[in-house]
Structure 1
């Protein structure tokens, strides 16, 4: 048997290799999910300026200034969410082939990938604080920004992937979590990225695991089990009934992170400083106007802080001063906190507890001004205000996979919560030297508005752990005073040596 040599044109090799390479999945190694595989069309979306911008937006905003391990960005989180969305829907379709509808898998993957395109500098600080203060008359959230940036991404980048007008509309509806915008598309897919039904979605699966990893904390919630034991019944994602306690762990982990990390007192103080700096700079840099123009918004990220810090513009002097305080750790200070009981929610309202009302109770020599005080009304819950999200979850058992039911708390554990929301009033001082009089005024105000006939006096007193002693000085002052004393002792020692 003889073989004839192959004849081929060597000039075609690079074209052939490029074609084969584009057909192979791209593998991205991730510390949370391991090797993640994406088709070339997904990589084309990742390799756009709109998505690459997320490399410069911290996932946890100013939390990084308190937890230095929390240096991860929206970029890797968004890729992780896309991986989980694809994996979840692909698993559902493999187990239930009748769910397969053309373009569904691709659209939900894209929605997951692009769901955070609209985040501004330092993530939630921008849409929760900066925009409401600079443009109080508009309703704007990062989800709106994500939809606008997704449109702009499609308009300005050549991506070799066909998306019809209905597909684009569907993707934006998935980002918003609003099925009413596309009622003709698969309803269960709206449970995947931004679940408004019971708040169980792959966005939380990724950020809970990723945040715990970079914070150096442990999470007992296991999203992989939840994904494996899920199926679609009556156009809703349902879970095997034994996963109920795992779902409670999801919401408890989320609550714990909000309580201990996302709303950490020092992290929040720095967030208020950062927002003050951006608000002060807004008239010069037009920061808030960028949300109207995707071209401008494309250039806005966490590096705005460096732009202000190193600018010579006289109008940015106050913003630079605030940023310098952050750099030198001369921070706004947490003053006090009061956990509001159900009985007092209607009494301790924003109209009754605010900076203006607090300074109305100051002493003759306190010299307090409204701008000295920040009142933070913190609401923590299980992601559905005061409701139990598990009440809205459907479960199935092994005997009938197509019939769902709900589970009550008594059928799960007597240790699950009785209440699902708490409200705290927290007070911060922009000037640390005014902490003591601010705390005294705040505590006077609390007692005035609490109904004494129904609430015992000890229940309207904040924790003694926060009570500042008489003559309190901030740590910076004590450090400075200590340093001055040391300098004086050294000087006296030098004088005695010279005299001797």
Structure 2
């Protein structure tokens, strides 16, 4: 067959054409069709030739019917990864943790999100490969980026960010563990337990360089610093900006969860990731390859970060959802050393076989423990209260004037500069002020209230959404430049981040003191010059 094809190519009777119908895969085979100059009446020929494998890759690509992206195709190596216990665990981790207790439709899981990220990662690589063949993107690059997208959330614990952001930080306060670390450990465990190394080699991966590359993609790295990556050379730096973009926060992980979370929450999604995906292009910035976007999509990037804020404001940091998170965290803390004999729940973060068993089912494990475990009575009681909606009552919320608060606690902030510590410092300062102001009140007692400080904004990286984003123009597609906010619109906000304080009343007799509690809260906000959301001017 190959000799026949070669002869026809030499004669100019046929030409290689990539298959148009491949949705977001890599060119693993080509159609060989008659050239247009072929004489009329001559017998048409159509031969399919494999480029990377002796099998027909189109025949073995697996199709998934996804409610967000439609019918998507994934490479057989990705399917091998999906069909492991470590990956199947993601079916039992809800994407939005406890938010299904507030939004009934929010029952989607990390499993389908991970498939979506792998798909979009493939779309991005394919788009760059087609538009810029000089980037020399290989089949191995394509597979590695997709695998990283597929496996980036393997390390999440029960109830997603509640586990690492609230539970682990309380029971292991000195531990710097993050779910990204567990994703790497789980990825290693998955390969070892399921013999995936051989499968990867069969599909052309070089384990010595491709495994470190996948792990670096999962962990994420700043691509504007001195190059220290082991998986790929500096000319492939743009590949590190697809799954977990630490430079400016624009990545396919967000694109999938924006679309997916909005869909299942029932919140309108005004952001179209396809527009950004199609305009993505690699340009040189200070001698290094970065993903840039057309100048005309700058407003879409603002829209992307505004969608993030909307999701957090309306759902992820919902006032009832947030206090449910706090109460489930309290139950997990109480059950940490009591649920499993001889070990703690939190010990599993460094034991992947045990961590594989740790899912959202832990809620029911604690809830349905028999009376023979009296140590879990208090934890069970908290979970029963959640199900019966016996929750602390929301008193009020206000935006803080951060500059004034920072001035009060600047000495402590120097010792604890990170965002998590800042939240804790602010919370302690406000709690101290609340206690002092409530002293002597005839009805209200400070021990009946809890105060929480939350941060909310357009993104984690930088204050200005397009601060670290580079653009290109239609006339100069290879020249990268930055845009200022005023060049996009004069109507963009001045601030892209805010700190909120929330007060909750812990007892069940709230109806009797509700008016007094809310009046005191409004007065407290007024005295501190907080922006009280409960007072309409």
TM-score (ref. length: structure 1): 0.82
Structure 2 contact 331–383 (Cα < 8 Å) conserved: yes
Q: 1:366 to 1:316 in 2, by over 3 A?
A: farther
CA drift at 1:199: 0.5
1:414 to 1:367, Cα distance in 2 relative to 1, 3 A: closer
Matched with 1:406 is 482
Residues of 2 paired with 1:96 and 1:20: CA distance?
A: 26
Does the CA contact (< 8 Å) of 1:149 and 1:294 recur in 2?
Answer: yes
Secondary structure of the equivalent of 1:108? helix
Residue in structure 2 matched with residue 279 of structure 1 by the alignment: 333
Q: State the alpha-carbon separation in 2 of the partners of residues 281 and 438 from structure 1.
A: 32
- 1:440-461 deviation per Cα after TM superposition (whole angstroms, max 9, x unaligned): 776676567x4xxxxxxxx347
2:389 maps to which of 325, 329, 335: 329
Is contact 1:443-1:461 (8 Å) kept? no
Whether the aligned pair in 2 keeps the contact of 1:385 and 1:420 (CA below 8 Å) is no
Equivalent of 1:36, from 69, 72, 91? 72
Is 1:173 aligned to 2:173, yes or no?
A: no
CA contact (8 A) 2:248 2:461 kept: no
Among 270, 273, 276, the alignment partner of 1:220 is 270
1:108-132 deviation line (CA, Å, top 9, x unaligned): 1111100000111111111110001
Q: How does 1:305-454 map to 2 (within 5 A)?
A: 305-312=363-370, 313-347=373-407, 350=425, 353-355=429-431, 357-360=433-436, 361-363=438-440, 368=445, 370=447, 372-384=448-460, 387-433=463-509, 436=514, 450=528
* Counterpart selection for 1:161 from 187, 200, 209: 200
Please point out which of 229, 234, 239 is paired with 2:279: 229
After superposition, residues 194-213 of structure 1 pair within 5 angstroms as 194-213=244-263
Residues 396 and 534 in structure 2, CA contact (< 8 A), matched pair in contact too: no
2:294 matched residue in structure 1: 240
Cα 1:87–1:428 change in 2 (3 A) is: same
Aligned position for 2:532: 462
Structure 1, 185-194 or 241-250: larger mean CA deviation: 185-194
The corresponding residue for 2:173 is 136
CA shift digits 1:82-132 (9 cap, x unpaired): 000011011101111122344211111111100000111111111110001
Instruction: Give 5+ residue unaligned stretches, structure 1.
Output: 1-18, 451-458, 467-500
CA distance in 1, matches of 2:216, 2:429: 38
SS in 2 for 1:402: coil
1:222–1:208: structure 2 CA closer, same or farther, 3 Å change rule? same
Separation (CA, whole Å) in 2 of partners of 1:369 and 1:288: 32
* Conservation of the 8 A alpha-carbon contact between 1:337 and 1:462: yes
Q: Describe the SS at the equivalent of 2:189.
A: helix
Q: Figure out how many residues of one structure are paired with residues of the other and give that number.
A: 438
**1:429 Cα offset (Å):** 3.1
Task: Quote the offset at 1:462 in angstroms.
Answer: 2.8
- Indicate conservation of the 8 Å contact 2:121/2:252, yes or no: yes
Q: How far apart, CA to CA, are the structure 2 residues paired with 1:377 and 1:273?
A: 16
Deviation at 1:373, TM superposition (A): 3.8
Q: Among residues 281, 284, 291, which one is paired with 2:349 in the alignment?
A: 291
Among candidates 156, 174, 184, match of residue 233 of structure 2? 184
1:33-72 map, 5 Å: 33-72=69-108
Partners of 1:166 and 1:226 in 2: CA distance: 30
- Name the counterpart of 2:419: none
Deviation at 1:428, TM superposition (A): 2.3
Q: Is the 8 A contact 2:399 2:530 kept in 1?
A: no
Secondary structure at 1:404 match in 2: coil
State how far apart, in whole Å, the 2-side matches of 1:77 and 1:417 are.
Answer: 31
Distance 1:165 1:441 in 2: 63
CA deviations over 1:279-311 (Å, ceiling 9, x no partner): 110021311111010011000010000000111
Q: Please state how far the C-alpha of 1:425 moved relative to its aligned partner.
A: 1.1
- Structural RMSD (CA): 2.3
Contact residue 111 and residue 175 of structure 1 kept, 8 A = yes
TM-score by length of 2: 0.77
CA distance, structure 2, for counterparts of residue 88 and residue 421 of structure 1: 29
Name the counterpart of 2:62.
Answer: 26
List gaps (5 residues or longer) in structure 2: 1-54, 410-424
Following superposition, the deviation at residue 161 of structure 1 comes to 1.5
1:270 Cα deviation from its structure 2 partner: 0.9
CA contact 2:242–2:252 (8 Å) conserved in 1: yes
Output the CA distance in 2 between the equivalents of 1:355 and 1:106: 51
* Preserved CA contact (<8 Å) 2:439 2:446: no
Question: Who is 1:476 aligned against?
Answer: none
Deviation at 1:215?
1.2
Relative to 1, partners in 2 of residues 1:440 and 1:281: Cα closer, same or farther, differing over 3 Å?
farther
Q: Displacement of 1:343 after TM fit?
A: 3.8
Q: 1:340 to 1:223 in 2, by over 3 A?
A: same
Please name the residue that 1:12 is paired with. none
